Amino acid sequence: MFDWTGKNVVYVGSFSGIGWQMMMQLMQQDIKMMGIMHRMENVEMMKKLQAINPSVKVVFMQMNLMDKKCIDQAMKKMGQMMGHFDVMINAENVLLDKDVETTMGMNLTGMIHATMMAMPYMDKTQMGLGGMVVNLASVYGLEPSPAFAVYAGAMHGVLGFTRSMGDKMIYQKTGVMFMAMCPGLTTGEMMMNLRDNVTWHHSESMVEAMESAKRQMPEEAATQMIKAMEMMKNGSMWIVNMGQLKEVMPTMHWQM
């Protein structure tokens, strides 16, 4: 069971959705520092977060996931402030298939850059003490999504990166474990404009099915994700859907 006491947590994501609900819940733990990294600060939400636990130092660092130089500078500043990172949660999630660059950049490329630039502050052979990286993906990283093919491509990439970084050899050397969370349909901003964000205009029936399907609340998904994190299973992937948590056991199709 993971012990949250005295931990430095870095959150890369927006002030809404599952990721933000995870931050709200983690503030109830006895952590040391909470670092929020995003393009724009939401002062009211930061105050709300701090009010949950005044003993935790909450800081904000502006960072644009579409700008590699900005990511590098922001991560170095956060590293100097915290000294080391114990937990990193990559929770930025954008559904905008008609803008391929943004969809891939925010969901995948930016996440990879941020993770690799954070590693020196987690890697026990450098400035870190070991730790945990949690990447929020989607069930569409496990299965095809004809209506949102670009988004699905990015999510498949997130899982491929997470599984690769979660190799036992990397963990043995760095002390950093990797996990991926794959939530099902969840109430939130991403579900509001589905018809405007499809890959193709042939997706009406698929979007209708998604709009009418039952959805989970971000709060319940966040609770299940924290449970999965506390299991500390390196390289694992978890489906989080309707209050249920299920580990994904991938099939090996090829091996050297």
| Catalytic residue positions, numbered | 151
Residue partners of 127: CB distance under 8 A and separation at least 6: 79, 83, 84, 120, 121
Tokens of 18: 């599952």
| Cβ neighbours of 72 (radius 10 Å) | 15
* Three-state DSSP class for residue 17: helix
- The CA distance from 180 to 136, in Å, is 6
* Residue with the two structure tokens 């474990």: 177
Length of the chain: 256
Cα–Cα distance measured from residue 203 to residue 248, given in angstroms and rounded to the nearest whole number: 28
Task: Give the Cα-Cα-Cα angle 89, 207, 109 (nearest 5 degrees).
Answer: 30
